[in-house]
Amino acid sequence: MEAKPLTRVEGEGTLKLILKDDLVQDVVLNIFEPPRFFESILKGKRFEVIPDITARICGICPVAYQMSGIQAVESVFNVKVSKEVEDLRRLFYYGEWIHSHAIHVFFMHLPDFLGLSSFFEFLKLNPDLSKKALFIKQTGRKILEVIGGRDVHPVTVCVGGFTHFPKDEEIKSLIPSLEKSYDYSLEILDFLSTLNFPQHLLPEDILFVSLKEEDHYPILKGKIYLSTGVGLDKDEFLKYFYEFEKPHSTAKYSKTKDGKTYIVGPIARFNNSFDNLTENSKKIALKYGVKPVERNMSKTIIVRVIEILDSIERSIELINLYQKNSLKNEKYEVSEGEGTGVSEAPRGILWHYYKINSNGLIEKANIIPPTSQNQSVMEELLRKNLTNKELKDESTLISYGEYIVRDFDPCISCATHFLKIDKLNLDNR
């Protein structure tokens, strides 16, 4: 049976409830969207196309694909970019976090807390706060446009740096919007603090996996850090984690090699690197009731706003240091080899691998996005919260399942379509 379509997730999938005697017996997260074959598209093409082609995987987080991809190529050619170029890439990435988090918090997640069907109902309910939410989103887009040449699928990232460096005045012009967005984000936190947060608790033994940078809240690089204290080099990713398929899903699942379920994304970054937030961000997080170890997925809406605030504060710091004249691209020579790259997409760790031959042609490619890494724990949390629930009120039960799915901000196919609910009644077999 098909229930109402849902438009507040990215991609196409179904949540299948398996029933017996009007009790939920099992829950299956069925991703049916056709595979997109990006790794195959890359094979045989020159390495320069990686940032342009992989950016098309996602219209909301293209910078993440560009950063992980270019990092992998630079690893093959042994290129180390200057601190100034790295800072510009970091600023670029903050723009994406602000934009992506704003989309999820306001358009996809917030309506669940208020019992609304969409952001447009919230717009009618609270037009002032809605306009401020849209302003924050637009601030992130401005950063992408100034640095990336355009806000959707930016075009300036290249091996060794950028094809174009913005003028000083273009970068400085971003500060007023960022300052206003910071104040608006605080107002929104005040509003969010009035909401009720259901207990969508992760298992106590869940493994939080994120990057860990020495001097920054993780975004651009770093060791792959496990909440058990293990730190892995990016080249060791496949030694510790593996992907596997299930018959009902065209998206892969991931676990650790010893079979443990893990989670990536804002809640993992927050729990693993709370101390690397800015001092202001740490105080604000504690004020609004989130601190490590946070296991309630419904509170990720607060964590994402904390990450917006942290990104804004650090963006202003980087903009104040920016000088176009200090930037230059690193030279490199094409050589054969294998390389990996990893960065923190808004939804979590995004890992790339490439094998490139001496002519600069891509022979192998492997891309592991955050949503496939979270699919196992997402399904487990759905099963934990829905199994043995009675089907007295179908719409309430379905909405509850969708609510849990949206806690994770899944990017099912990096293109927003719909998610529909199916029920399979064992009594009618």
Beta strand 411-425 with 10-20 is parallel
- Residue 411, marked binder: yes
365 is written with which tokens?
A: 């490619």
Asked if 171 contacts 309 with a C-beta cutoff of 8 angstroms, the reply is no
314 is written with which tokens?
A: 């650090």
Asked if 142 contacts 95 with a C-beta cutoff of 8 angstroms, the reply is yes
- Residue 367, marked binder: yes
Cα 414 versus chain centre, distance: 10
Asked if 224 contacts 209 with a C-beta cutoff of 8 angstroms, the reply is yes
If one counts every other C-beta atom within 10 angstroms of the C-beta of residue 315, the result is: 27
- Residue 58, marked binder: yes
SS3 for 288? coil
- Residue 414, marked binder: yes
Cα distances (Å, whole numbers) of residue 213 to 60, 308, 346: 24, 18, 16
Contacts of 378 (CB under 8 A, 6+ apart): 29, 404, 405, 408, 410
Cis omega (within 30 of 0) on the bond before 293?
yes
Residue identified by tokens 């504690």 is 286
What is the chain's percent helix, strand, coil content, to nearest 5? 45, 20, 30
State the DSSP H helix or E strand holding residue 197, giving kind and residue range, or none if neither.
none
The H-assigned helical ranges of 173-242 are 175-192, 237-240
Phi, psi of 256 (to 5 degrees): -75, 160
Cα distances (Å, whole numbers) of residue 425 to 18, 22, 26, 158, 293: 6, 8, 11, 53, 38
- Residue 158, marked binder: no
CA distance 63 to 344: 10
**Sheet-wide strand order for 23-30:** 23-30, 10-20, 411-425
CA distance 200 to 339: 38
Q: Which of 336, 372, 417 is nearest to 245 (CA)?
A: 372
CA distance 370 to 375: 9
337: left (phi > 0), else alpha (psi -120 to 50), else beta?
A: left
Provide the annotated binding site: 39, 58, 61, 367, 411, 414, 417
Provide the annotated binding site for Ni(2+): 58, 61, 411
Provide the annotated binding site for Mg(2+): 39, 367, 417
Provide the annotated binding site for Fe cation: 61, 414
